[in-house]
Structure 1
Amino acid sequence: RATGAEAAATGPAATGREATGRAGAAVHSGEAVASVLAGDVIVTLVADEEFGSLGTMEVLRSFRADAAIVAEPSELCLTLAHRGFAWFEVELTGLAAHGSQPERGVDAIAHAGLVLRALDELRSEIEAAAAHPLLGHGTVRVSTIAGGTDAATVAAACTLTIERRTLPGQSPDQVEAELRALLERLAGNVDGFRFRLSRLVARAAFEADPEWPIVRLLAERATEVLGRRPEVRGEPFWTDAGLLHEAGIPCLVVGVDGGGAHADTEWADAASVDALTEILTRTITDFCA
């Protein structure tokens, strides 16, 4: 149970991983209707959804579905879009020299500073572009930076990891080309600027069609359960809905209310777990009847 201010604000809440509430709702709704349906219900409790998504990728190799519901934290709102992402590594190669004679070397850390400045300019361009109605703008940022060997040596190498959050319609190939062009401009204008760009992981953004039958049906059943039309929104984070969408499976995201993601105090509102269970049960019953 939640304690203190959280309990006062939210009422009864189950502490522990918020995913437990979503998983429980999915399992209970599937059990409740499995014996009376004409169609099949596949409940998957997958691992690795926050990195390589190996669980969902394996599911997609083994099963096909007419529709999917992804239970991620949405506060019982309907998530019809979320950003994608791409992680890149940039290796800058300089030339080591004694710190007393820096003119004899090529400082890879100084070149990293030029990359940071260029990324600031790219960020301004991203924010000046037209905003997505549910997602706003994409983002770009440096996640890690490492370089140099000691205080008395000009850095011969510096490595940056860069995260680019993307919008629907922006492919990993497009944002990689954008980043490569930025680095090539620096290489053409700065003596000794040498780089190697690698794509680490990339996932496309997701956007549902509000007219898909699964979206319309779940919205109707959520309205019945909640007594109000659920809010439609987009999320800045990525979910496995992106993979399902790429595989041609109509889907949307809906999940419980809660907070404290990834913290020791992560929690889910108990009433929202009950509501999600009922919403899923009614939706599955009608979709697979």
Structure 2
Amino acid sequence: MSRLPSESDPVAILQQLVRIDSVNPDLVPGAAGEARIAAWCGQWLRQQGFEVTVLEQTPGRPSVVGVKRGTGTGRSIMLNAHLDTVGVATYAGDPFSGELRDGRVHGRGAVDTKSGLAAILVGAARASAGELAGDVIVTLVADEEFGSIGTEEVLRTVSADAALVIEPSSLELTTAHRGFAWFELELTGLAAHGSQPELGVDAIWHAGLALGALNGLRQRLHAEPAHPTLGHGAVRVSKIAGGDDAATVAAHCVLTLERRMLPGQSPEQVESELRALFTALAVEEPKFQFTLTRLVARAAFEAEPHWPIVRALTGNAERVLGRPAVTRGEPFWTDAGLILEAGIPCVVFGADGEGLHADTEWADAESVRALAKILEGTITEFCGPTAG
């Protein structure tokens, strides 16, 4: 295991973390996974006096929960970040160098989101070094980049009065992001010789009808009032497969659909919307036979400005940065959707950098230090120092 740094500089810790390969094996078969980095973070938290539990319902995919107990008279806070990264096959240079150059830490996961791991470790340790009224709960999770099994496992046994989800955000508060749902649309036709297509039912031709209907839905979504930070919902076809050979009417065609949702729209609602769309097609074209199956669905996220966690983070960001806090929305999904769905008010916040999922990646070192200070202040304010 890499040597644990004795100092509490989050940049030095970030460098150590980048040097640990934690590529998600569900994205890259045979990849390292989270075991080594989970062990490193767990040991670091134990050295700071945290009670550490490792959750590993899926073998080889551990998540770390570290708790520093307060007196029980204050609010509890959860700090959540993910241990895994995407792959490195096309990375330019050494993806695990952790090199600090020109004020930037380089390597896979540097900004997404080992910067968040480092800032959580330092911010939580500093804030809880003196006794707090509320509990500080650190959740460092597996598999955010694929299926979010880590946060799902954590939420089965862990709760808090509020949470901070640390994802790169250029030190701006992400107060909303879209949800998503993936569906499989299976179209069933009837095979026939290509010289007599009238004897068959062409599933690929019916796929064209489905594409036309989906385009109408896309136009309707864009005609609706836009969300102030997220814009409009979206629908698209991500994959299509069908047919057997050039001389046969296609008896089968399958489309994979993606629907991006705004806050207030549930997976059930968008599934009903799609089912009604294709049912209407079947009325117009009686030979149109379809099966719609929901594959994966995650609800959207939106924080309320009056939540105490939002107010505490806003105030501490302004204090550390010396400027008004900025809020933003994101088109992509994060584990904040699961945490809010579990009834825990939360907000997304993180360091500055570039190269998420790209061929080079870096985190701005000073933003990581600022992030740790902001987290320290937010934890202290939210959990409350003990009286006297």
- Give the TM bin, normalised by the shorter chain: over 0.9
Q: How does 1:1-289 map to 2 (within 5 A)?
A: 11-15=102-106, 16-17=108-109, 18=111, 19-36=113-130, 37-289=132-384
Question: Unpaired runs of 5+ in structure 2?
Answer: 1-14, 16-91, 93-100
C-alpha separation in 2, matches of 1:125 and 1:224: 43
Indicate the SS of the match to 1:180: helix
C-alpha separation in 2, matches of 1:221 and 1:146: 52
C-alpha separation in 2, matches of 1:114 and 1:48: 37
Shifted more, 278-287 versus 34-43: the winner is 34-43
Give the C-alpha shift of residue 99 in structure 1: 1.9
Indicate the SS of the match to 1:48: coil
C-alpha separation in 1, matches of 2:145 and 2:194: 42
C-alpha separation in 2, matches of 1:130 and 1:231: 23
C-alpha separation in 2, matches of 1:195 and 1:47: 36
Contact 1:11 1:269 in 2 (8 A): no
Give the C-alpha shift of residue 165 in structure 1: 0.6
C-alpha separation in 1, matches of 2:275 and 2:352: 40
Q: Which letter maps to 2:104? A: A
C-alpha separation in 1, matches of 2:345 and 2:287: 50
Give the C-alpha shift of residue 187 in structure 1: 0.8
Give the C-alpha shift of residue 11 in structure 1: 4.8
Q: State the Cα RMSD in Å.
A: 1.6
Q: Which letter maps to 1:150? A: D
C-alpha separation in 1, matches of 2:346 and 2:166: 11
C-alpha separation in 2, matches of 1:143 and 1:214: 37
Q: TM-score if structure 2 supplies the norm length?
A: 0.70
Give the C-alpha shift of residue 119 in structure 1: 0.6
C-alpha separation in 1, matches of 2:186 and 2:126: 53
C-alpha separation in 1, matches of 2:119 and 2:358: 22
Indicate the SS of the match to 1:184: helix
Indicate the SS of the match to 1:198: strand
Give the C-alpha shift of residue 242 in structure 1: 1.1
C-alpha separation in 1, matches of 2:305 and 2:154: 25
Give the C-alpha shift of residue 101 in structure 1: 2.0
C-alpha separation in 1, matches of 2:374 and 2:231: 28
Q: Which letter maps to 2:139? A: T
C-alpha separation in 2, matches of 1:191 and 1:38: 66
Shifted more, 202-211 versus 99-108: the winner is 99-108
Question: How far does the alpha carbon of each residue in 1:185-224 deviate from its partner, in whole angstroms, 9 at most, with x for none?
Answer: 1111114110000111111111111011110011010001
Indicate the SS of the match to 1:134: coil
Shifted more, 206-215 versus 15-24: the winner is 15-24
Question: How far does the alpha carbon of each residue in 1:211-238 deviate from its partner, in whole angstroms, 9 at most, with x for none?
Answer: 1111001101000111101211111111
Q: Which letter maps to 1:21? A: S
Q: Kindly tell me the number of residue pairs found equivalent between the two proteins.
A: 282
C-alpha separation in 2, matches of 1:80 and 1:70: 11
The structure in which a higher percent of residues are helix is 1
C-alpha separation in 2, matches of 1:227 and 1:35: 25
Q: Which letter maps to 1:27? A: L
Give the C-alpha shift of residue 33 in structure 1: 2.3
C-alpha separation in 1, matches of 2:187 and 2:361: 39
Q: Higher RCO, 1 or 2 (CA under 8 Å, sep at least 6)?
A: 1
Indicate the SS of the match to 2:316: helix
Give the C-alpha shift of residue 100 in structure 1: 2.1
Runs of 4+ more than 3 Å apart: none
Give the C-alpha shift of residue 266 in structure 1: 2.3
Q: TM-score if structure 1 supplies the norm length?
A: 0.93
C-alpha separation in 1, matches of 2:295 and 2:328: 29
Question: How far does the alpha carbon of each residue in 1:113-154 deviate from its partner, in whole angstroms, 9 at most, with x for none?
Answer: 111111111001000011111211110111111111222221
